[in-house]
Structure 1
Amino acid sequence: MDVGRTGIWSIELRTADPGEIRDAAAELDAMGWGALWIPGLGGGDILGDSERLLSATGSTKVAVGVLSIWRHKAAEMAAGHARLRQRFGSRLLLGLGVSDPAAAREAGHDYRPLADMGRYLDELDHAPALVPPGERLMAALGPKMTRLAGQRTAGVHPFLVTPEQTAATRALLGPQPLLAPYQAVVLERDAAAARTTARGFVSMFLSMDHYARNLLRQGFTEEDLADGGSDRLIDSLVAWGDVETIGSRVRAQHQAGADHVCLHVLGSGSPPPPPQWRELSALAR
């Protein structure tokens, strides 16, 4: 599935007023973004929310980044994906994640992430209407999960990664699988204001073990993860500044091996579409 070079990742495209979402999606489609990404959040009607975006757009792909395998049964996802595929063609990319041990315990299971994901993929493969490998991907961070994604899905959607980590992921995946990293951005030239906005979002993930371990693998230290994140950590994970500066980070991700970069605008403080999406539209193609 061709998702283009850039896309918009947005919580608001799931949570805002449905009419506002449809209007925003149509405008983003007209801007030429390759894909609209929505998070799995805590579950909910991810297929219905995807259908709303597919209905409002003509060619832009819709990607889930990502749903928890503990909150969505594989058979239901496969059936829903098949229904939407019949109506809209191959425009829905299902992103899959193993979440964390707490999510597994809530579902009544032990947490064995590699085996758990493998079993979920098996269920998708053997469903009456299977989800084609090219229309699913994974939120892989560690090397074993990344290799599994390259073998059994379209590729990976890594969260909170630097261009250097993107290059390392590309080396693990090889040249063919899709590599679509998440990239947080703040359209703000003042360093203090930009870092405050960025830290307000990033800090919530620093106490989560799987994200913390991945950041340490990327070369950050425990000190970088303390107190909401050091300036070094924030500047490495969040692109801030004007459109040209943010475009430089997008190019760095592409040069490191990314096929597609998902831009999440932080701190918009407004319903969709925030004005920042329009400012960033030069990066859509």
Structure 2
Amino acid sequence: MDARETLGGPNGPRIVQWFIDTRPLWPVTKSNARDEVQQLKNVASRALSLLTEPEQTSVLKYYHLKDAKMSLVSHLLKHFIITKCSIPWSRSTISRDEKGKPCFKSGPDTDHVILDFNVSHQAGIVSLIAAIGFKGVSVGTDVVCVNERLQQDYAHISKYGFDDWVDVHADVLADSEVAFMKSAPIDDRYRGAETVIEKQLRRFYAIWCLREAYVKMTGDALLAPWLKELEILDVQSPAAKEGIDAVSLEEGEVIRQFANYFQGKAVTNVKTELTALGTQYMIAGSIRIPKEHKDSGVNLGKWQKLDLERDILCFAEASS
């Protein structure tokens, strides 16, 4: 589906949720890691040309090709969402707010732009969530891949146990979440996980993904002093779609109901969802809605997979 079909009219308020799989993009000749990244100058020249020189430099500084590709697509998505607010690509400048969150700072002739967006990337997948036309609405997203670190995770768990592995991450989790992960029963319906440990890991990464999306929505980093005061309780990971193969990124179960607490009080102005993507990925979206938009129909929808060539490159070249 064309990305333009999901955005409605050019001025209508909407929530946008996109992702791109960078893994098949820009194949290079096998070489050492740094040389593979530098090959992007040729194989990804069309995409790189759409970025500013500092952005190009930031992409090409990466040591691993997979990280450089995710960085490149992350930049493209941020420019792309700004152009959806009737801003030409050449003027889609990406800035940062006072907390360091990427943003578009409107000027005298672009004060019509009301936009908040956030990106995430993990194991080749890059996601973007945006709120267009909703003043005061903040958004965040995160992507996790359950099996990306499976070998390292299993090595630690085999030696020290699952509870010890959870404790390694306890500094950025609420005490109630740590206790839940160690003691709560595992849902037997999990697809995408076979063993008990795999199911425990999948639930851990589900909680991690939800927390990351929430924290990124606020604009604070994972070292924010209030991290342990945020609680996302009773989390079960969404099941992968039944019958899909290992390379599929088809959407599976979507879970929308979570018990969110901050400093012991229920959070009522944030909507959070977690979606299974293929057998190993999960993607989260979080929206903080001010009182004036409480009844405005601000809701999360489906994550849409974009086609880089059709949806972004052709559009950007026509817009520049």
TM-score, with length taken from structure 2: 0.30
Query: What TM-score comes out, normalization by structure 1 length?
Result: 0.32
